[in-house]
Structure 1
């Protein structure tokens, strides 16, 4: 389908006048790496190809972590609109922090190519799993759809619409692991404003919503696509089929589909009701949050429940977490988002999902209170949760986001290993002088914010024990490890 690139919704620059104004987020560390890509990564096998390039497996040369890279050839991006699509994907991915959305690490540019480095999901596309299995039972389908709906609820709450939900854009973390899906490919995503319609026909014929074909639509176009996905998972074929795009789109426009065939005789009326509630005209179509509460989803989307030992350890770490300094928080954020592997976070993701009872990809005070009230009185739990929110909600948005949860619950000795500490120090020590200056801190942490030098000098002064105006590695270690 054709595409009209939406105007990016850029954040309003903030001002950092004092240390407490500094907000360190995962996006802080998703930046352009100016080193030569091949010097940082060794390039491995191909994982797929597209219009502008390919996706390949890569290995980080210094820490040996496996990642994936999307490589875009500049000569194939023949106009400004196509280049903007790439920049848009980076801008969107930087802002996302959800267990079912692929994490982006960094990006590169040389004279011939752009490179976006992301998580490597070894399980391949959900599309391949559909071909292999033909169809899924209702519990399996609900488990997959729940994850996609959770990702969509999160995206829409952040005023981002994906616009190309399909099995090819959903990866499995491991082979056959439908409990850990990742939504990918945000090249067609767009920022939107509540109550304002998007314009431009964009998407894939089988999954595109009829209102998108007209060119005036809302974020609910993603829910139509999710309805098509649900239909396919249940029966193994699409609701709107044809010999070519023209025939398919004609059927999409008419919006007529049927629950025909032997397989649909064995599918519950509740599942069919959800399909009908998603493949409906835009005004009556469910939102992602509403779909998450649909009875069929609630009945069948059994999430993996962590064992008691893991849950207890996570809750204990939440209770004991103290956000002692901005530098320590920055280091913790960098290591958690850039150094810790999927394997190291898998059990904690199960804890996060178990606590995230409404599936919106973040933990509210009420959800925390519900968990802690199971083991202590309501008043004591309320006081405990207020203290946890004050310590863990470092961006002060009123919720504990996924990375904030991981920072507080990961084993701190694993996070602050000697190898990770050195990587964090080298991140700030941009000139390789074996010490970190106030201006080097500013270069990494200020981002687009307007800031005063006294802020960064204050952070250095807190750590600088020998009074030379900079932070050496021993001083760096002491402040980061001081509360272990």
Structure 2
């Protein structure tokens, strides 16, 4: 149900032409516009699913989770086809497409409650794009506040909505667009209409073409400075969506449009047809998106907003070097690469790029989602320094998660995190300071848990209610805890996993341990340590904890200190216990 007016009909669907070696992005020569024989998206990371993939199938487009073209038998993604069949109606043995018949329509309520006065308010023009669920046309306002304004009208035939879930997908897309509209890097939503045959979504008309087209016109890549300008806009709208509890799930160059052909035209995010709501402590499990940009945890069916950050890392990689970080001749090969391979930073132009640019991309393309930068953190990265003066970095929901975990931690772990916070660099402290100031500390420089709720409500939209992020914030704000100053806030809001992903992690940890030795380390009995960690007394647990304590003086060892920083649980110890 995403926007589809980005690509004129005459342009072939396949925009990427592979060089057959490293997936370099090049303009197509002599494109025929023919439909590829095989859709690239067969999302199964299991090795057994790859053996039947055709050796000559070329992954050349980025369709969504709904397959329009037939699979070559035998299908390498039977379980996905079964899921689609349940979601969108019955499918033929070797085809996973949205059924056109009416056998699934019985009993479905296709009344959305939208206005039925579309023809009175807008004139529908030529078709400019077509997607899996509908098509987009030029439109012009006939009356009211939009009179004379050129718009884009997305037309979604109700005949395509053959299951209750498909109807809910359309409803959710409109709700998200309506709630989030207003951000300068998000396509403006005007109104939604319906009649007996179609749903009409009226939006801002962006006539500058796709980001993908701009990449191709520049020979496949951007300069660092131009890439920074693009990334700041992508990160700004993504951070806004994530704060509201919305994960896009299909971020790629095709889904960002320039408002005009001007070189400095603003960039707009489009196509929220795959978007969904997610709370900070929840994980989604359906496999959606586009193969080249899909995050590893999506293939593992447990993901959140971090999946969008992986996709942005892929976009950044393409912008800077003109090649895909993960490439193969088949869709199953792409998934294997995403799960197992590391992107190359050794070949040109990477050695000539700034260390900050390389670090930025690496910290987004980390296969461990816990170590990935958030959108707000990425905006604060040194590589983008000076490029977001006009963009306010929003609140970061990861801070709420980390603070909640900190408050529930033992006094020993709080002391360890306090020592680690004292090793933060100037850019890291700048990010912390921005997040702290957004919580509106008192004149004395303290915040309470209630500040977290107040700060979020200032930027809350209807999307935040639907995603139940407000429920989560209420939970955080209800915790009884003393007031927190900036120093303790840094200890509470620090992400050990993200620090661990940095090349300087060893220095951070060693320096923090030195500080902990001076101020917080003390002799501790194994029984006391088990109690501090909330573990039930047992002989196997004590055997594991013996490694945490130095035998010479009974104090916490460096190994124990690092493990304590990460936090522990009974489940963690179950994995560590000897068989």
Give the structure 2 partner of residue 87 of structure 1: 171
1:199 aligns to what SS in structure 2? coil
Partners of 2:244 and 2:460 within 8 A in 1:
no
Q: Aligned pair 1:294/2:376, yes or no?
A: no
Once the two structures are TM-superposed, the CA of residue 214 in structure 1 deviates from its matched residue by: 0.9
Give the structure 2 partner of residue 159 of structure 1: 245
User: What is the CA–CA distance in structure 2 between the aligned matches of 1:129 and 1:277, rounded to whole Å?
Assistant: 25
Once the two structures are TM-superposed, the CA of residue 33 in structure 1 deviates from its matched residue by: 2.3
Larger radius of gyration: 2
User: What is the CA–CA distance in structure 2 between the aligned matches of 1:272 and 1:179, rounded to whole Å?
Assistant: 26
Select the residue among 192, 196, 212 that pairs with 1:107. 192
Once the two structures are TM-superposed, the CA of residue 135 in structure 1 deviates from its matched residue by: 0.9
Give the structure 1 partner of residue 261 of structure 2: 175
1:216 aligns to what SS in structure 2? coil
Q: Aligned pair 1:142/2:223, yes or no?
A: no
Q: Aligned pair 1:48/2:48, yes or no?
A: no
Say which is worse superposed, 241-250 or 111-120, in terms of deviation. Answer: 241-250
Say which is worse superposed, 164-173 or 93-102, in terms of deviation. Answer: 93-102
C-alpha spacing 1:66/1:241, structure 2 compared with 1 (3 Å): same
User: What is the CA–CA distance in structure 2 between the aligned matches of 1:67 and 1:396, rounded to whole Å?
Assistant: 33
Select the residue among 17, 24, 34 that pairs with 2:116. 34
Select the residue among 153, 162, 171 that pairs with 1:69. 153
Give TM-score, length-normalised by structure 2.
0.48
Q: Aligned pair 1:275/2:346, yes or no?
A: no
Give the structure 2 partner of residue 242 of structure 1: 328
Partners of 1:101 and 1:184 within 8 A in 2:
yes
Select the residue among 231, 245, 252 that pairs with 2:317. 231
From the two aligned structures, give the one with the greater helix fraction: 1
Partners of 2:232 and 2:388 within 8 A in 1:
no
1:174 aligns to what SS in structure 2? coil
C-alpha spacing 1:141/1:294, structure 2 compared with 1 (3 Å): same
C-alpha spacing 1:256/1:178, structure 2 compared with 1 (3 Å): farther
User: What is the CA–CA distance in structure 1 between the aligned matches of 2:273 and 2:186, rounded to whole Å?
Assistant: 14
**Larger RCO (CA under 8 A, 6+ residues apart):** 1
Once the two structures are TM-superposed, the CA of residue 95 in structure 1 deviates from its matched residue by: 0.9
Once the two structures are TM-superposed, the CA of residue 82 in structure 1 deviates from its matched residue by: 2.0
Partners of 2:284 and 2:301 within 8 A in 1:
yes
Give the structure 2 partner of residue 308 of structure 1: none
| 1:326-378 CA-partner distances (Å, limit 9, x unpaired) | xxxxxxxxxxxxxxxxxxxxxxxxxxxx2x442669xxxx99xx9xxxxxxxx
User: What is the CA–CA distance in structure 2 between the aligned matches of 1:232 and 1:274, rounded to whole Å?
Assistant: 13
User: What is the CA–CA distance in structure 2 between the aligned matches of 1:206 and 1:159, rounded to whole Å?
Assistant: 24
| 1:171-228 CA-partner distances (Å, limit 9, x unpaired) | 1011144551111111111111111111111110000000001100111100000000
Give the structure 1 partner of residue 557 of structure 2: none
Once the two structures are TM-superposed, the CA of residue 45 in structure 1 deviates from its matched residue by: 3.0
User: What is the CA–CA distance in structure 1 between the aligned matches of 2:394 and 2:290, rounded to whole Å?
Assistant: 27
Q: Which runs of 5+ in 2 are unaligned?
A: 1-40, 42-64, 67-82, 88-111, 397-432, 438-442, 444-454, 462-579
User: What is the CA–CA distance in structure 1 between the aligned matches of 2:320 and 2:229, rounded to whole Å?
Assistant: 12
User: What RMSD over aligned residues (CA atoms) do the two structures have, in Å?
Assistant: 2.8
| 1:12-40 CA-partner distances (Å, limit 9, x unpaired) | xxxxxxxxxxxxxxxxxx982221x3332
C-alpha spacing 1:78/1:178, structure 2 compared with 1 (3 Å): farther
State how 1:3-402 maps to structure 2 within 5 Å. Answer: 32-35=114-117, 37-62=118-143, 63-96=147-180, 97-133=182-218, 134-280=220-366, 281-299=368-386, 301=387, 354=390, 356-358=391-393, 397-398=457-458
Partners of 2:231 and 2:316 within 8 A in 1:
yes
C-alpha spacing 1:269/1:51, structure 2 compared with 1 (3 Å): same
User: What is the CA–CA distance in structure 1 between the aligned matches of 2:300 and 2:457, rounded to whole Å?
Assistant: 37
Once the two structures are TM-superposed, the CA of residue 77 in structure 1 deviates from its matched residue by: 2.9
Partners of 1:161 and 1:189 within 8 A in 2:
yes
User: What is the CA–CA distance in structure 1 between the aligned matches of 2:311 and 2:341, rounded to whole Å?
Assistant: 13
Q: Which runs of 5+ in 1 are unaligned?
A: 8-29, 304-353, 371-381, 383-394, 402-484
User: What is the CA–CA distance in structure 1 between the aligned matches of 2:288 and 2:361, rounded to whole Å?
Assistant: 22
Give TM-score, length-normalised by structure 1.
0.57
From the two aligned structures, give the one with the greater strand fraction: 1
C-alpha spacing 1:145/1:43, structure 2 compared with 1 (3 Å): same
